[in-house]
Amino acid sequence: MELFFEGQVLWSQIDANQHLRHSAYADFAAQARINMLESVGLSYNKLAGEHIGPVIFREELRYLREVRLGDFIKVNCELMNTRPDGSRWSIRHELVRGDGIIAAIIICEGSWIDTEKRKLAYLTPEMREMFLKSPKSIDFGQVPLSTKAE
């Protein structure tokens, strides 16, 4: 998997049990996804210019090891599946501690939303080609999309 985010765990991301709070994992994954989109040319400004943004239908997080204050983490992500038109997709993320141990696996399923109409949308043909250049998993296309929302 390609690296799309790295940083240090901050005090504000720690919970009462003295480890990374649950929502911070999702925040790290979201930033990695945005960085991945940026890497293929789908910058925030480009998406916003077309009034399109990613929307998540489902997020599954498997906690494997603790992450603590001051730990350095890296987040990798890759496309697991997508419809040919890019309208629905699944992305896998791994949150890896500085010692190389995978601390969490996050899988998101989503689509695109028209940020003005507040309805599901399609990427332009140019943007779809960019999106389809995203790094793909070894099992790409073998993991079914479970999203039923239309």
pLDDT at 150: 47
| pTM, 2 dp | 0.91
Q: What is the mean pLDDT of the chain?
A: 94
Q: Is there a domain that residue 32 lies in?
A: yes
Q: How many domains does the chain have?
A: 1
Question: Model confidence at 61, in pLDDT bands (50, 70, 90)?
Answer: very high
111's tokens? 């689509």
**How confident is residue 148, by pLDDT bands cut at 50, 70 and 90?**
low
Q: Is residue 143 part of a domain?
A: no
Q: Does 96 map to a domain? A: yes
- Expressed in angstroms, the distance from the first to the final Cα of the chain is 30
Whether residue 136 is contained in a domain is answered as no
Identify whether 68 is part of a domain: yes
Greatest extent of the chain over all pairs of C-alpha atoms, in Å: 47
Mean pLDDT within 118-129: 96
pLDDT at 144: 73
Q: Which domain holds residue 106?
A: 2-131
Q: What is the CATH number of the domain that holds 73?
A: 3.10.129.10
DSSP state of 11: G
